Structure 1
Amino acid sequence: MTIKEQLLQEIESTSDTILTETLDFLRFLKTKETRTQPIPEVADSAVHAPGNSTGHSLLEHLQTIGKWEGDDLQECQEMVYATRGKAKFNDYNPFE
């Protein structure tokens, strides 16, 4: 009996709740598999598709940026603090 046949046999005797989780997991695995395979036209270039960044690619990119220049660092930080949203929790929030 093949793996596919075994899976189909198990599916027949499984509840919808477990099948829903199983389907989500299977889709996750398929997505993970496609992310680990290099894309031929991108593999040899420095350009990466959105959502496919890795820690290594981000570190490589940081090396190309250079150093901070200018005198507006404080102003940029203040803008970030002023415009960021507050976290919302549906449950008990120990930080409130």
Structure 2
Amino acid sequence: MDLQQQITEELSTITVDNLKIIAEFVKFIKQKQEIDLLEPINYRRASGSSILSHAGTWEGDDLEECLELMYQTSAAWRK
């Protein structure tokens, strides 16, 4: 028995309400598959240079406040 026949056999024992859920899931998978085929993602690993271009610069008068908040929240993560 091939996979499609096995799935068909299993579906014959599913309630109508669950068949509706399965039908929606199948539609979702098909849409995702179509999108994946149409739009290949050109992933380029980040170099970090864009964030480094801001190193050593700060605009505003809240540097101390932001640093204090960062210290408080990072201390909570270390626990």
Question: TM-score by structure 1 length?
Answer: 0.39
Normalised to the residue count of structure 2, the TM-score between the two structures is 0.47
- Higher-helix-fraction structure: 2
Structure showing greater Rg? 2
